[in-house]
Structure 1
Amino acid sequence: MTYDTLAIERCGAVATVWMDRPEVFNAFDEQLIAELAAACAALDADAGVRVVVLAGRGKHFSAGADLNWMRRAADSSEADNLADSRKFAAMLHTLASMSKPTIARVQGAALGGGTGLTAACDMAIAAADASFATSEVKFGIIPAVISPYVLRAIGPRHALRYFQSAERFGAAEAKAMGLVSEVVAVDELDAAVDRLVQALLACGPQAQLAAKQLIAAINGRPIDPEVGEETATRIARQRATAEAREGFAAFFEKRQPAWMA
């Protein structure tokens, strides 16, 4: 599939999805949303892809919504806005629910929906020059569609401030809040992403998916006998898989597992 707003790079089992609108700081509109949803679905279905990196061409990750798109939305009916918002929500869900690890590679501005894309990825590494904001209230709107992912990343207390103040916050603050896991110098960003990619490639792909599903199933629940039973069931099921047998065999035989071949 060819894209007008994205560029897909493949390097072995790693796919990098570049938002490719640097002239507008990778701001997104209807087309980029549709293409990003399609790209995520296609890469998720590709058994040859183990890790997906989301990145932005140029100086900025994503400045959020394209101003022309916002202007069209302001002049549209509530029904048209609902249809647009549903497509945006579906794209974020497709990204967040991918069956393989996803990494946001963030430099420069990651504003509004750019913060949402960062939060929708499983993990994020930011350059020291990165800045974030949920800036929607400055335009009289709210960060509704991105809110489940941003709340999951930074928690309600931080969200109460930044959803209402629209203040920008830097990479160090984003790390402290949990939005990104690592902050590095701008010229070290690719190396830091690659280190994380290599760590991910060393692990069993089916176990990674099961771990992701485990978090979704257990997060927020009380630690009670029901949760204990579910965790016991999940590890028993995983231990019985061919991947687990291969992982243990590789360890005891002092060799690399098959998924690293």
Structure 2
Amino acid sequence: MYQTLEIERAGKVATIWMNRPAVFNAFDEQLIAELAAACKELDADDSVRIVILGGRGKHFSAGADLNWMKRASQFTHEQNVEDARKFAGMLRTLAEMGKPTIARVQGAALGGGTGLTAACDMAVASDDAAFSTSEVKFGIIPSAISPYVLRAIGPRHALRYFQSAERISAQRALAIGLVGEVVSRDELDSCIAGIVDALLAGGPQAQKAAKDLIAAVHGQPIDEIISEETAQRIARQRATDEAKDGIAAFLDKRPPAWL
């Protein structure tokens, strides 16, 4: 079904592998379209609880395929906008998946590769990983990825790296919040497996509701409106069958139904 991706399933976990190792998983129109389609497919699949995004070969993703960018530079304004909308739409589809997403990052994660890392809920990087919002080096800006990178690192760090295009080491990425864990390449999968185990213990509906909660609350003033919003959300969640079973399971000392 996919030409630039592989989807690997293991129980309740699905891994989307970007599979263009010869070009360091740089993305073009086809990879963008297929990533969006794969995210929609897995989001709609109730047998999948967790989605991991990885890249085959030595590198996670070197960002935009320069041949694609060269073609885009020759587009009309209308064509350019439509092409950019597809990239922005893919990132939003990934970021708004209703289940936990984990970026598995090794080697280069440059430009859009940094954006993919930030668009996932969490990220684990190898200690040789390198990131960069490198767009200004090509006379462009990291526009489509900016909401997700800003969410991860904040405006102060973004002011530096969006303008300097400096390489960001794995340890620096950890310090500024772009990734949550840094391990050796050999430990990448075991580290992710530990996170997966923790995620599988939670209720899937509750996890989706938690993601929605963060989107609703972040950046809002703490006032009567937000207090009422949070009260309404927990009241709705407590009334779900999943919550009733989860609380009963704890009291009965048995596993909840989702396990």
TM score, norm. by length of structure 2: 0.99
Spell out the pairing of 1:191-230 with structure 2 (5 A cutoff). 191-230=190-229
d(CA) in 2 for partners of 1:143 and 1:229? Answer: 36
1:34 aligns with 2:28: no
In 1, Cα distance between the equivalents of 2:193 and 2:25? 22
Q: CA deviation at 1:73?
A: 1.3
- 1:79 Cα deviation from its structure 2 partner: 1.9
Matches within 5 A, 1:174-185: 174-185=173-184
Q: Which residue of 2 aligns with 1:144?
A: 143
How far did 1:70 drift? 1.2
Range moving further from structure 2, 251-260 or 141-150: 251-260
* SS of the residue 1:258 aligns to: coil
3-state secondary structure, aligned to 2:229: helix
| Long gaps (5+) in structure 1 | none
Q: CA deviation at 1:15?
A: 0.4
Q: Does 1:124 align with 2:123?
A: yes
Task: Report how far residue 210 of structure 1 moved.
Answer: 0.5
Q: Which residue of 1 aligns with 2:70?
A: 71
Q: Which amino acid counterpart does residue 57 of structure 2 have in structure 1?
A: G
4+ residue runs of structure 1 moved beyond 4 angstroms? none
Matched residues in 1 for 2:74 and 2:137: separation? 18
Identity of aligned residues (%): 72
Match of 2:4 in 1: 5
Structure 2 CA distance for aligned equivalents of residues 250 and 14 of structure 1: 24
Q: In the alignment, what sits opposite 1:249?
A: 248
* Residues 162-197 of structure 1, C-alpha deviations (whole Å, 9 max, x = no match): 000000011111111111111111100000111111
C-alpha distance in 1, partners of 2:221/2:82?
37
In the TM superposition, residue 31 of structure 1 has moved relative to its aligned partner by: 0.2
Shift of 1:75: 2.1
Q: C-alpha distance in 1, partners of 2:54/2:16? A: 6
CA distance in 2, matches of 1:14, 1:147: 28
Deviation at 1:137, TM superposition (A): 0.2
In structure 2, the residue matched to 1:114 is 113
**In structure 1, what residue type is equivalent to 2:178?**
L
Paired letter, 2:233: R
RMSD (Å), alpha carbons: 0.7
CA distance in 1, matches of 2:216, 2:121: 15
Query: Displacement, 1:67?
Result: 1.4
Please report how far the alpha carbon of residue 74 of structure 1 lies from its aligned counterpart in structure 2 after TM superposition: 1.9
The Cα shift of 1:76 comes to 2.1
CA shift for structure 1 position 215: 0.4
Aligned residues: 259
- State the partner residue of 1:165: 164
Residue of structure 2 in register with 1:52 after alignment: 51
Which residue of structure 1 lines up, in the alignment, with residue 81 of structure 2? 82
Q: Shift of residue 252 of structure 1?
A: 1.2
Provide the C-alpha distance between the structure 1 equivalents of 2:141 and 2:253, rounded to a whole number of angstroms: 54
Alpha-carbon distance between aligned partners in 1 of 2:29 and 2:241, rounded to the nearest angstrom:
42
- Aligned amino acid, residue 167 of structure 2: R
Question: What does the per-residue CA deviation read over 1:223-242, in whole Å, with 9 as the maximum and x for residues that have no partner?
Answer: 11111111111111111111
SS of alignment partner, residue 49 of structure 1: coil
Residue aligning to 2:152: 153
**What 5-or-longer segments of structure 2 have no aligned partner?**
none
Q: Secondary structure at the match of 2:258?
A: helix
Letter paired with 1:134: T
- Give the 3-state SS of the residue equivalent to 2:15 in structure 1: strand
Once the two structures are superposed, what CA deviation does each residue of 1:127-180 show, in whole Å capped at 9, x if it has no partner? 111100000000000000100110111000000000000000111111111111
Query: Equivalents in 2 of 1:75, 1:226: separation in Å?
Result: 48
State the AA in 2 paired with 1:235: I
Distance in 2 (CA, whole Å) between partners of 1:71 and 1:137 is 15
Residue number in structure 2 paired with 1:16 = 15
Q: Please give the alpha-carbon distance, in whole angstroms, between the structure 2 residues aligned to 1:156 and 1:118.
A: 17
Q: Deviations over 1:11-54 (max 9, x none)?
A: 11100000000000000000000000000001001111100000
